[in-house]
């Protein structure tokens, strides 16, 4: 086969065209560079987006793409070369921290076959192609069934007999390409994550999940979950702020110390000590160094020890790392003066053990700690996602044939709509709680993953307990994927009238943002609060709000969906309606919605509705950045 070889530099967008024949399977070899230097693809996931000459889209991913060093190889299926003319494609690269970069558009000219426009016979090649297509369809169906079973059984609540339907995924990749880049992905490219924590908030009957960011303002994004009146643990707001300041530990001196030139405090007595306790991952020691300097031995209560010299031919006050890359924990440390540095004898005995210490100024520290995980400073927080609105899901419903009022699930003003709630909160594989309306017994610091699994029966409290649907919902945040993923699954038990059904929502505090961007290119430079609403068409599946966090720094949040057809219910409803909605409420909440089903329609017994939405939040981002640039 003719291999098409292309060199692509992620910093360039001028390339020569290549040519191939119509209906050929094309081996493609792309050598990737970045600024003329080989691009390291270790641990990266790759996807090839291909737009044929007739503007139809093909996405190639998974095992079809092979990587060797900085060379990417893929065999383009003949469907990519069906249409004669210029095809365009791009390679999307996602590294193991979820950062994404794409090549500039590349082109390939498809030269027409001599059989173009002629009637093809049912020859062996055609039959082979049909068999291959059938085999691919069978594999896809198998994977869809597996996905449905796994999704239905969120925490072993749903039995296999409850799996009644496989929802179509056909829109997933197509919609993502038609409607532009996900704004969640664009936002994630602006941050580096340092660590994550979970703390209990007993005063508000909930938990807080914080993501500490690696930036100059030491920002934190904190997702706040609260138990509602029915015992469901749901998201009620996201705040942004700064990490608590790292406070130097208080040291205790034991022995005879000369403090006449403090903070250039020193001892000459072998065996003198200073002790302290710290919590963190790194310890740094500050002391005077000069030609009379001796040796300190630092020892932790876990047995680790390190010798630090105060000797130097260049006099001055210096810092040195004593312990680095410690496991996050609380340690007791003892520093003992050992006397002469065995490598460098003092120029004038006796040897001196210096430490930067002055008893009247605790900020003039002797040792400082890098506390990799510092929770949010509550005095610095700003509401980003509003605590006064529910983003997880919202359905106004009552059973068909009843004459009482519609009520919202989950509980809004009326409770008793979520019966028999079950819950599991799992942190790094450990179950933290499995009791509804109860909090974990401990805080968890420096975690990698938190999962909240819940199930309940949805009822209208004005009735006699008729179950309208069984509901399964999960919330997941990981360090490697620093966004909130919310999965909903609804198994309808009886015909149900709905007033509204939302499985995708992003409610923000409009006083804290000044900009709204939709992934169809529409942008708002101000966020009104006049009670107005805007209907959105099929070209919007992702939205982003952004604004000033502090002078020179910005924060923002974005939302997208895993499958547009599932999020909007267009795979179950044949009528025409606007699936999206923006509201600019007078109570300073602006909200992006996707309708899971048109208002005033009926959910039929046996139907299954499911949706995956992602909400990403960032903070402490400097200008210029993607939060403020046009898409």
Cα 453-457-462 angle, rounded to 5 deg: 140
- 600-618 mean pLDDT: 94
What residues does 74 pair with on adjacent strands? 28, 65
Q: What residue ranges in 461-585 does DSSP mark as E strands?
A: 469-478, 484-492, 496-509, 515-518, 523-524, 532-536, 543-550, 553-561, 580-584
Task: For 211-251, write each residue's pLDDT tens digit.
Answer: 999 888 889 999 999 999 999 999 999 999 998 877 889 99
- 380 pLDDT above the threshold of 90: no
- 47-65 mean pLDDT: 78
Q: What is the predicted pLDDT for the residue at 604? A: 95
- Share above pLDDT 90 across residues of the chain, in percent, rounded to a whole number: 53
pLDDT band for 570, please (50, 70, 90 cuts): low
Q: What phi and psi values does residue 12 have, to the nearest 5 degrees?
A: -120, 155
> What HEC string does 446-464 produce?
CCCEEEEEEEEEECCCCCC
- 58 pLDDT above the threshold of 80: no
Q: Which of 166-175, 348-357, 412-421, 459-468 has the lowest mean pLDDT?
A: 166-175
Task: For 530-550, write each residue's pLDDT tens digit.
Answer: 999 999 988 899 999 999 998
C-alpha 630/C-alpha 628 separation (Å) is 7
pLDDT band for 151, please (50, 70, 90 cuts): very low
pLDDT band for 55, please (50, 70, 90 cuts): confident
- 125 pLDDT above the threshold of 60: no
Q: Using DSSP, state whether 64 is helix, strand or coil.
A: helix
Dig out the tokens for 66 from the structure.
Answer: 């092979």
- 126 pLDDT above the threshold of 60: no
Any idea which architecture 4-111 has in CATH? Answer: Sandwich (2.60)
- Comparing 15 with 339, the larger pLDDT belongs to 339
Contact 591, 583 (CB under 8 A): yes
What residues does 92 pair with on adjacent strands? 47, 102
Contact 26, 4 (CB under 8 A): yes
- 463 pLDDT above the threshold of 60: yes
Dig out the tokens for 457 from the structure.
Answer: 């029966």
C-alpha 265/C-alpha 358 separation (Å) is 7
Tokens 């002629």, residue? 118
Q: Which of 183-192, 197-206, 265-274, 519-528 has the highest mean pLDDT?
A: 265-274
Q: What is the predicted pLDDT for the residue at 165? A: 34
The CATH class of the 183-244+377-622 domain is mainly beta
- 312 pLDDT above the threshold of 90: yes
pLDDT band for 563, please (50, 70, 90 cuts): confident
Q: What is the predicted pLDDT for the residue at 444? A: 87
Per-chain mean pLDDT for the chain: 84
- 134 pLDDT above the threshold of 60: no
- 138 pLDDT above the threshold of 60: no
What residues does 413 pair with on adjacent strands? none
C-alpha 521/C-alpha 608 separation (Å) is 33
Contact 223, 209 (CB under 8 A): yes
Start-to-end CA span in the chain (Å): 39
* Cβ-based neighbours of 417, under 8 Å, separated by 6 or more: 230, 407, 408, 409, 410, 411, 458, 459, 460, 461
Contact 148, 163 (CB under 8 A): yes
Helix (H) or strand (E) holding 26: strand 26-34
Contact 509, 588 (CB under 8 A): yes
Strand bridging mode 18-21 / 353-356: unpaired
Q: Could you tell me the sign of the dihedral formed by the alpha carbons of 574, 575, 578, 580, in that order? A: negative
Strand bridging mode 4-9 / 26-34: parallel
Q: Which of 100-114, 348-362, 386-400 has the highest mean pLDDT?
A: 386-400
Helix (H) or strand (E) holding 322: strand 316-323
Task: For 486-497, write each residue's pLDDT tens digit.
Answer: 999 999 999 999
- 630 pLDDT above the threshold of 60: no
CA distances 497 to 501, 535, 562, 568, 581, Å, are: 10, 22, 26, 17, 21
Q: Which of 183-187, 302-306, 583-587 has the lowest mean pLDDT?
A: 183-187
pLDDT band for 150, please (50, 70, 90 cuts): very low
Any idea which architecture 252-370 has in CATH? Answer: Sandwich (2.60)
Q: What is the predicted pLDDT for the residue at 372? A: 61
Q: Which of 41-55, 140-154, 239-253, 449-463 has the highest mean pLDDT?
A: 449-463
- 283-300 mean pLDDT: 97
CA distances 164 to 161, 400, 538, Å, are: 7, 21, 28
Picking from 475, 530, 513, 213, the residue whose alpha carbon sits closest to that of residue 384 is: 513
- 26-50 mean pLDDT: 82
Determine the distance from the C-alpha atom of residue 427 to the mean position of all C-alpha atoms in its chain, rounded to a whole number: 16
Q: What is the predicted pLDDT for the residue at 629? A: 62
- 19-35 mean pLDDT: 82
- Comparing 144 with 611, the larger pLDDT belongs to 611
- 109 pLDDT above the threshold of 70: yes
Q: Which of 147-151, 239-243, 392-396, 529-533 has the lowest mean pLDDT?
A: 147-151
Please state whether 385 falls in left (phi above 0), alpha (psi between -120 and 50) or beta.
beta
- Comparing 618 with 8, the larger pLDDT belongs to 618
- List the alpha helices (DSSP H) in 179-268: 183-188
Q: What is the predicted pLDDT for the residue at 52? A: 81
Strand bridging mode 484-492 / 608-622: antiparallel
- Comparing 188 with 573, the larger pLDDT belongs to 188
Using CA atoms in the order 343, 348, 354, 359, what is the torsion angle rounded to 10 degrees?
170
């Amino acid at each position: 086969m003719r291999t098409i070889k292309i060199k692509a530099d992620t910093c360039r967008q001028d390339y020569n065209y290549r040519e191939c024949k119509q209906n050929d399977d094309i081996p493609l070899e792309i050598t990737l560079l970045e600024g003329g230097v080989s691009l390291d693809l270790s641990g990266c996931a790759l996807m090839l987006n291909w737009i044929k000459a007739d503007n139809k889209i093909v996405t190639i991913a998974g095992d079809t793409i092979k990587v060797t060093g900085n060379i990417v190889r893929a065999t383009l299926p003949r469907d990519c070369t069906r249409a004669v003319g210029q095809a365009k494609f791009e390679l999307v690269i996602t590294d193991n921290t979820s950062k994404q970069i794409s090549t500039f558009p590349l082109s390939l000219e498809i030269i027409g076959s001599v059989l173009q426009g002629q009637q093809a016979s049912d020859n062996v090649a055609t039959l082979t192609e049909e068999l291959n297509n059938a085999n691919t369809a069978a594999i896809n169906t198998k994977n869809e069934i597996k996905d449905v079973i796994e999704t239905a059984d969120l925490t072993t609540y749903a039995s296999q007999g409850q799996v009644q339907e496989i929802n179509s995924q056909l829109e997933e990749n197509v919609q993502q390409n038609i409607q532009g880049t996900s704004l969640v992905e664009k936002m994630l490219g602006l941050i580096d994550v340092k660590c994550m924590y979970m703390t209990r908030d007993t005063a508000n009957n909930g938990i807080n999940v914080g993501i500490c960011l690696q930036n100059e303002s030491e920002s934190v994004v904190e997702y706040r979950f609260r138990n509602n009146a029915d015992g469901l643990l749901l998201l009620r707001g996201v705040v942004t702020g700064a990490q608590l300041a790292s406070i130097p530990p208080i040291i205790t001196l034991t022995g005879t110390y000369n403090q006449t030139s403090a903070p250039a405090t020193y001892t000459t007595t072998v065996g003198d000590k200073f002790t302290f306790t710290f919590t963190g991952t790194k310890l740094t020691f500050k002391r005077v160094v000069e030609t009379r300097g001796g040796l300190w031995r630092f020892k932790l209560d876990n047995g680790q020890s390190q010798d630090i010299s105060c000797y130097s031919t260049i006099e001055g006050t210096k810092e040195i790392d004593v312990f680095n890359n410690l496991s996050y924990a609380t340690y007791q440390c003892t520093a003992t003066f050992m006397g002469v540095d065995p490598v460098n004898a003092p120029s004038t005995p006796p040897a001196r053990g210096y430490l930067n210490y002055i008893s009247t100024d605790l900020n003039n520290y002797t040792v400082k700690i890098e506390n990799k995980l510092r929770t949010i400073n509550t005095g610095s927080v700003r509401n980003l996602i509003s605590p006064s609105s529910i983003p997880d899901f919202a359905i106004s419903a009552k059973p068909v044939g009843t004459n009482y009022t519609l009520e919202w699930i989950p509980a809004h003003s009326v409770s008793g709509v979520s019966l028999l709630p079950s819950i599991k909160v799992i942190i790094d594989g450990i179950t933290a709680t499995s009791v509804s309306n109860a909090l974990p017994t401990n805080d968890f610091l420096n975690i990698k993953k938190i999962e909240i699994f819940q199930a309940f029966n949805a009822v209208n409290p004005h009735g006699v307990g008729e179950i309208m649907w069984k509901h399964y919902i999960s919330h997941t945040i990981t360090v490697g994927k620093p966004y909130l993923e919310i999965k909903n699954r609804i198994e309808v038990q009886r015909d149900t009238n709905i007033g509204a059904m939302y499985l995708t929502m992003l409610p923000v505090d409009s006083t804290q943002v000044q900009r709204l961007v939709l992934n169809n290119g529409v942008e708002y430079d101000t966020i009104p609060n006049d009670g107005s609403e805007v209907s959105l068409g099929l070209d919007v599946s992702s939205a982003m709000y952004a604004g000033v966090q502090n002078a020179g720094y910005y924060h923002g949040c974005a939302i997208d969906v895993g499958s547009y057809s599932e999020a909007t219910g267009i795979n179950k409803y044949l009528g025409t309606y606007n699936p999206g909605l923006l509201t600019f409420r007078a109570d300073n909440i602006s909200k992006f919605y996707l309708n899971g089903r048109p208002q005033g329609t009926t959910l039929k017994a046996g139907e299954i509705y499911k949706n995956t939405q992602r909400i990403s939040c960032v903070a402490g981002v400097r200008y210029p950045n993607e939060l403020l640039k046009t898409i």
